[in-house]
Amino acid sequence: MSRIKLIKGDITKLEIDAIANAANSSLLGGSGVDGAIHRAAGIDLLEECRTLNGCPTGEAKITKGYKLAAKYVIHCVGPIWNGGNNNEDALLESCYTNALKIATNFGIKSIAFPNISTGIYSFPKNRAANIVLSVVEKYLENNSIPEIVYFVCFDDENYNIYKNLIRE
């Protein structure tokens, strides 16, 4: 488990290779962590995002990090929770897997993820954490890059959920 680390705080402050963003499918900025990343990265991030023509739910696209300390941003579009019978679990899983595949292709050694979909998109936090940890662990077992994955929890509830699951 040593390739998985937990951090409490603000993902925009991290000095690592890449941070993942919980974006919406327009990729043109939003609230929550998306807004924080765009504010910290500056207007050039939005300019690059405009060239990407959006991103479908469950997929991910990479940009540079601009004014962020992180070199890259991997924009992930998580599912909006709609009761749980609308493919939400698989879509959440696939946005993490697709971000990790991009990280492998770009030789990104360290990547940090926020708790995608668990804010405004209302995915139940405990359910999300279980899905995310198992998919990331499985990916790391089969891939040597990224070397380290950070989970950055902004709220106490997510932090405590991850802390307990990582301990198990």
**Binding-residue pattern over the window 22 to 61 for ligand ADP, x denoting contact by CB under 6 A:** x---------xxx-x-------------------------
- Asked if 116 and 153 count as a contact pair (C-beta separation under 8 A), the reply is no
Residue from the set 57, 94, 110, 118 that interacts with ligand ADP by CB under 6 A: 118
Residue from the set 70, 92, 116, 161 that interacts with ligand ADP by CB under 6 A: 116
Residue from the set 60, 61, 68, 114 that interacts with ligand ADP by CB under 6 A: 114
Q: How many other C-beta atoms lie within 10 A of the C-beta of residue 112? A: 22
List, in sequence order, every residue forming a beta bridge with 111; answer none if it has no partner.
18, 149
Cis status, amide bond into 146, omega within 30 of 0: yes
Where does this chain touch ligand ADP (CB under 6 A) — which range of 55-63, 98-106, 132-140, 151-159?
Answer: 151-159
Q: Is the dihedral of CA 8, 116, 97, 27 positive or negative?
A: negative
Looking at the Cβ atoms of 72 and 154, the one nearer to ligand ADP is 154
